[in-house]
Every structure is written in C-alpha cells, then in structure tokens.
Amino acid sequence: MQNSPAVKVALAHIEAWSRHDWDKTRAMLAPYVHALVTSTQREIGTNEFTGIDRYMALKTRAASLVEPGSVQVLGAVGDENTALTLVTLRIAMGPNGSLVTMARSCLYLLDEDEKIMDERDSFFVLSQASREGK
C-alpha cells in the first residue's frame, strides 16, 4: 500500500510543489481539480476551490513560503486511486515571516488518467517562534 500508484502520485506532487516546480505541480492536476484546505487554527481558516488556475494561484502563493527540501514524509498509504499522506515541513508563517514547523495530512483522489481530481488538506503549525520563548 505504501508503493501504490496513488501514493506515488501524491508523493511526487508534494515533492514538486515543495521544491517550487510549478510546471510539474500543474501537470499532475485534473482540469476540474477540487481542493479543500483547512486548519483548526482560526487565523488560517478554510478554503475550498475548483479548477487548475485557481488551485495553482493559491498553491504557488502558499507553497512559495515552504523551505525547499524541508518536507519529511512521516507516512503514506493508498491504493490505485486514493492516497493519504502525513508530512512535516518548514514554512515562513511565524512572526515576521520566520520559519516554523507545520504538520500536514492530505487525502488525494486520482482520476482515470492518474491526475489529482480531489485533494483534502489539513494542517497545523507545530511550533512558532513566539511560543518557543515562553
């Protein structure tokens, strides 16, 4: 299950956007991709959107804050069409844009062409510079 087709696509997608490879990120999406991004941290909120252009506009804005090479895969399982991943990464979301650690779980559903047609992304910030000094 860890080497399933959906897991391979999901991990390749994470690798692409986390290294700011926007062409590869876009190429892995179905034209009608749907995404739901949420966090329990109220200042971040929830966002839901459909379509490649909207997806890429939001992904490039958010993933541009990710420190390239910082993604650590904690686990991934899946089958032919569905994958669930859990990663940590470093992202500039702390005070004054400082790097913090984020935990992210993501559920992916692939279409018949092995393109991402649905993504459910949940995350929270594990550490913040302002909290570390307390």
Q: What is the CATH number of the domain that holds 77?
A: 3.10.450.50
How far, in Å, CA of 91 to CA of 70, rounded?
Answer: 9
The pLDDT value recorded for residue 78 is: 96
pLDDT digits (tens, 9 = 90+) for 80-132: 999 999 999 999 988 888 899 999 999 999 999 999 999 999 999 886 644 44
How far, in Å, CA of 78 to CA of 1, rounded?
Answer: 5
Give the pairing type, strands 29-39 and 47-50: antiparallel
| Residue 102 CB neighbour total at 10 angstroms | 21
The pTM of the full predicted model, rounded to 2 decimals, is 0.88
Enclosing domain of residue 22: 5-132
Structure tokens at 124: 């929270």
pLDDT digits (tens, 9 = 90+) for 22-79: 999 999 999 999 999 998 887 777 889 999 999 999 999 989 999 999 999 999 999 9
| C-alpha separations of 120 from 27, 117, 132 in Å | 19, 10, 29
Confidence of residue 1 (pLDDT cuts 50, 70, 90): low
8 Å CB contact between 104 and 123 = yes
The tally of domains found in the chain comes to: 1
